[in-house]
């Protein structure tokens, strides 16, 4: 009897645990299916995509590139994973779709960065008392051939860049030539560490929900199935 009770309890725990894992991962899985649908026939869904330079209402940032916003901030693809920004897919080949600065800032590119730049914004437009950083990445081929603008070579530090400046082109660089990311731009808003440096972008706690900065529903916890585009 006791053994049967233990087995029943374990079964219930497994079912409940599986349910909560499913609930946590479902939005990301659903977005993957919609993204595949868009890739199969993106010409049938032009209203699903955003355009570079587009501004939604009175949002402070302009959109950094053309494409469909396939994954949102705080989407989960596996237990314990939290996406730190948004992924924008143009549906073109590598090195074709331009990436532009979404806001004025001071651009830096570390010496070993093949696909990424980061821009310091001294005064957060939504909270002027703090400094934030705008991170753009995957701008290279899977082998590491950079698509970043020649104006910003490795080692570039604190170059003022106005909104709308060409930064590079969408690529699929992941750091592993055998595991490309798929052609897109990953864009995130990174917190300052309080000492004038950017925090580690790989941890979601160091990033901000980009929704109010772009005027779009970009929070994966809140937006389960809405395709993010500017409201009419």
Instruction: List the domain boundaries for the chain.
Output: 2-214
Q: Phi, psi (5° rounding) for residue 71?
A: -135, 145
Terminal C-alpha separation, the chain: 63
DSSP labels for 174-190? -S-TTS---SBEEEEEE
The Cα 149–Cα 172 span in angstroms is: 16
Pairing of strands 132-137, 159-161: unpaired
The continuous run of DSSP H or E covering 212 comes out as helix 211-214
User: How do residues 148-182 score in pLDDT, each as one tens digit?
Assistant: 999 999 999 999 999 999 999 999 999 999 999 99
What is the per-residue pLDDT for 23?
36
Asked whether the whole model's pTM tops 0.75, one would answer yes
User: How do residues 79-132 score in pLDDT, each as one tens digit?
Assistant: 667 999 999 999 999 999 999 999 999 999 999 999 999 999 999 999 999 999
**Mean pLDDT rounded to a whole number for the chain:** 89
Scan for tokens 């970009």, then name that residue: 218
Q: How confident is the model at residue 76 (pLDDT cuts 50, 70, 90)?
A: confident
What is the per-residue pLDDT for 28?
56
Highest CATH level, class, for 2-214: mainly beta
């Amino acid at each position: 009897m006791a053994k049967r009770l233990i087995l029943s309890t374990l079964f219930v725990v497994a079912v409940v645990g599986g349910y909560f894992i499913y609930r946590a991962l479902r939005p990301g899985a659903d977005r993957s299916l919609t993204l595949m649908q868009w890739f199969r026939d993106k010409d049938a869904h032009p209203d699903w995509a955003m355009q570079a330079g587009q501004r939604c209402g009175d949002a402070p940032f302009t959109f950094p590139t053309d494409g469909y916003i396939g994954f949102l901030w705080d989407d989960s693809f596996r237990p314990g994973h939290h996406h730190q920004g948004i992924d924008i897919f143009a549906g073109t080949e590598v090195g074709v779709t331009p990436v532009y600065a979404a806001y004025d800032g001071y651009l830096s590119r570390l010496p070993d960065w093949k696909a990424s730049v980061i821009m310091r914004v001294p005064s957060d437009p939504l909270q002027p008392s703090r400094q934030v950083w705008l991170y753009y990445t995957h701008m290279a081929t899977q082998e590491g051939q950079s698509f970043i603008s020649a104006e910003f070579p490795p080692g570039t530090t604190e170059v003022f860049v106005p909104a709308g400046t060409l930064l590079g082109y969408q690529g699929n660089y992941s750091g592993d030539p055998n595991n490309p990311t798929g052609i897109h731009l990953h864009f995130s808003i990174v917190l300052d560490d309080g000492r004038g440096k950017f925090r580690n972008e790989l941890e979601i706690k160091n990033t901000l929900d980009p929704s109010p900065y772009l005027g779009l529903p970009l929070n994966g916890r809140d937006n389960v199935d809405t395709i993010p585009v500017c409201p009419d």
